Amino acid sequence: MIGIIRGAGIPVVLVSVVFLAGCAFGTRQPTLIYPPASESSEQSVAHAADKPSPKTVRIVLKPFTDQRSDKKVVGTVRNALGMRTADVIPTNSVTDWVTQAMSTELRNKGYTVISELPTDTSQGTSAVVSGEILNVFCDMYFSYTGQVSLVAKVSQDGKELLDKHYAGEGSAGLAVAMTAESYAQSLALALSSAVKQFVADLDKRLSPQ
């Protein structure tokens, strides 16, 4: 009886392997998103209920520079044997994606975000945020592993306040269909983790003691 049960499970395993192998070919082309899909509705409710107080320091946000060795690929597709079979290439700019995520989280904290140093200082002081993108990559086997790492810098009145490496990980769960949307979600979660760490540090540096 045990032998029959075990034997009955073999076709299921074979079907799963064939299914995964069939999905493992073809370049995935996600549109990188922010915030992650799981956070978007939560943030809308939270902001409606508890809007942060405006900060006195304005943030001059400079575009983050892309220092990745391969600026084209942001992930890989693997078959059931773990072999790399295809690339994940986004339809939008990684630099814009990271910079816009920074802007989103800074605004969520109550900061006014601008692109250039203001000549009028009557509205308060300003701090400059810039940085470098070191890694944006989502690997997968039976589940997704999105990773983002970057260096973020803060200066004020020509003085460096912060220069630190931040890294985050995120996963959309099991890699069943290996969809472009799942890669985008995994990377969005990873970026969210890294950016929120930075904004928390920034808040400590700029908050009155």
Q: Are 64 and 95 in contact (CB under 8 A)?
A: yes
Question: Average of pLDDT values for 149-166?
Answer: 96
Closest CA to 178 of 169, 189, 186, 166: 186
How open is the CA angle 133-189-127, to the nearest 5 degrees? Answer: 50
Domain that holds residue 150: 2-206
Tell me the whole-structure pTM to 2 decimals.
0.84
Instruction: Look at residue 136 and give its three-state secondary structure.
Output: strand
* Structure tokens given for 174: 């099991």
d(Cα 141, Cα 84) in Å, to the nearest integer? Answer: 9
User: Average pLDDT, stretch 168-187?
Assistant: 95
Give every CB contact of residue 180 below 8 A, 6+ residues apart in sequence. 28, 29, 30, 31, 88
More confident residue, 159 or 17: 159
Query: Which tokens in the block code for residue 150?
Result: 């970057």
Average pLDDT estimate for 164-190: 96
Count of domains for the chain? 1
Name the E strands within 19-125: 58-61, 65-66, 75-78, 84-88, 113-114
pLDDT in tens, 41-79: 555 555 555 778 889 899 999 999 999 999 999 999 999
pLDDT averaged over every residue in the chain: 86
Q: What CATH code is carried by the domain that includes residue 151?
A: 3.40.50.10610
Q: In the block, which residue shows the tokens 């009155």? A: 208
